[in-house]
Structure 1
């Protein structure tokens, strides 16, 4: 195993940061300073130390997190609370979020120390489906749905979006559905919304452009006021997780991702070492 990979999976830091540590001479293998991140080591037989402290290889870590609105998808931020601030009882040194959710968006987010996992789920060429629940002001006509399903322009100099899936759950007027929407904190209460049309539903996409769901719906005249990601690659957000809570991704869920995507062969490597603690 490469030394930098070993250190990243031991939560010493991200793959990028541990390479710096190695080059700075902060890592010792079997009493010898190593300055080449790509050097091969035996994770069982070799003794690795970082800043004179022995490093224990924990293996790859995968967490499912129910992101609440109001925190940002980042490792750290000087002004705002981040998703990693919720991981109080976990060594977060090597963890990072897989993809992004907007600050005001809730729902499913994976965190890991596995770069391959991140690549396989977020790489556009993999076409991994991500399903979102939304409430929006506006209405969707048959032609609007067709545009969403076949590809739509959401910005200048951008290609059409890949085909999406749209499922409408409820349509009506704001005064009829406001009690179900529970979005008071997201809207301007001074605005007269009594006769405003509203809609809820699911939009499933296989890309990850910036603000994509909001921009797609805006392109057909719908203004999103609530958004929640409920699944990635067929893995649903655990309903038992309250906002701000997390748990380890199970082996069965990993296997389901492998079977559904057919593109995550690297997870089947014996050195994957999925940590279930």
Structure 2
């Protein structure tokens, strides 16, 4: 989902039903404020979260929403589906229709999902260009070999996309269990990487996205708002 951003003069014309000339006159007369500050620059950028007052008429922006959800298996990482249970079936904030998912999980994978209506913020968590690290607890059928650990670290070639995956850190925790850290999110990437070694993945549980760690007190299927510290991660 793209962030909705507008030039202030165009925002005034659209939301307050006026001509461009009227908007410019009100700006020049210092009759417009954005988030509590008087503004006279018609090119200032506002977005869907901005509160704009124009000639004593007020347009209140959306409240920014940031949610942590502990996804159970069998729930679809989608906001809407006519046939299957989705994340949104467990979440009911007042502006649910505006939410999107930052970094999806496969239907049968579990763990940390982040939902927000702030596209610019969530892009920095899920956008591959930012290289935000995501951490997973992975259980496979067979013991994990040294060769597998080395191959993850070097990157594996994916025929379909014609790319080499970015280096991934695989740390063995037990014979058939590992922590995997990725900085990208290719289609079924973890399953495909282990599949190269004919080692089927039995379960995937995401524990962390960037600095945001899944709350171990949050039961599966439940959600909570992110804290101010979680929201304001260093980016």
TM-score scaled by length of structure 1: 0.65
The verdict on how the C-alpha distance between 1:33 and 1:113 changes in structure 2, with shifts beyond 3 A counting, is farther
Q: How does 1:63-78 map to 2 (within 5 A)?
A: 63-78=67-82
Q: Does 1:251 align with 2:228?
A: yes
| Helix, strand or coil at the partner of 2:68 | strand
CA distance in 1, matches of 2:5, 2:97: 14
Give the CA deviation at 1:114.
1.0
| Helix, strand or coil at the partner of 1:146 | helix
Per-residue CA deviation, residues 109-158 of structure 1 (Å, 9 max, x unaligned), is 11011111222122222111001001111222212210011111243442
2:186 aligns with 209
| Helix, strand or coil at the partner of 1:45 | strand
| Match of residue 103, structure 2, among 99, 111, 116 | 99
Give the CA deviation at 1:244.
1.3
Give the CA deviation at 1:39.
9.4
Q: How does 1:14-93 map to 2 (within 5 A)?
A: 28-29=15-16, 32=18, 43-46=51-54, 56-93=60-97
CA distance in 2, matches of 1:246, 1:106: 13
Q: Of Structure 1 and Structure 2, which has the larger fraction of its residues in strand?
A: 2
The verdict on how the C-alpha distance between 1:213 and 1:90 changes in structure 2, with shifts beyond 3 A counting, is farther
Instruction: Name the structure, 1 or 2, with higher relative contact order (CA <8 Å, separation 6+).
Output: 1
2:214 aligns with 237
Give the CA deviation at 1:205.
0.6
CA distance in 2, matches of 1:245, 1:251: 19
Deviates more, 1:119-128 or 1:78-87: 119-128
| Helix, strand or coil at the partner of 1:93 | helix
| Helix, strand or coil at the partner of 2:197 | coil
1:17 aligns with none
Tell me, yes or no, if the aligned pair for 2:5 and 2:45 is still in contact at 8 Å.
Answer: no
Give the CA deviation at 1:40.
6.2
| Helix, strand or coil at the partner of 1:225 | strand
TM-score scaled by length of structure 2: 0.76
1:11 aligns with none
| Helix, strand or coil at the partner of 1:110 | strand
RMSD value, Cα: 2.9
Tell me, yes or no, if the aligned pair for 1:139 and 1:221 is still in contact at 8 Å.
Answer: no
The verdict on how the C-alpha distance between 1:84 and 1:118 changes in structure 2, with shifts beyond 3 A counting, is same
CA distance in 2, matches of 1:241, 1:115: 25
Give the CA deviation at 1:33.
9.4
Q: Which runs of 5+ in 1 are unaligned?
A: 7-21, 172-198, 259-263, 265-277
Per-residue CA deviation, residues 156-202 of structure 1 (Å, 9 max, x unaligned), is 4421111111111112xxxxxxxxxxxxxxxxxxxxxxxxxxx0111
Q: Of Structure 1 and Structure 2, which has the larger fraction of its residues in helix?
A: 1
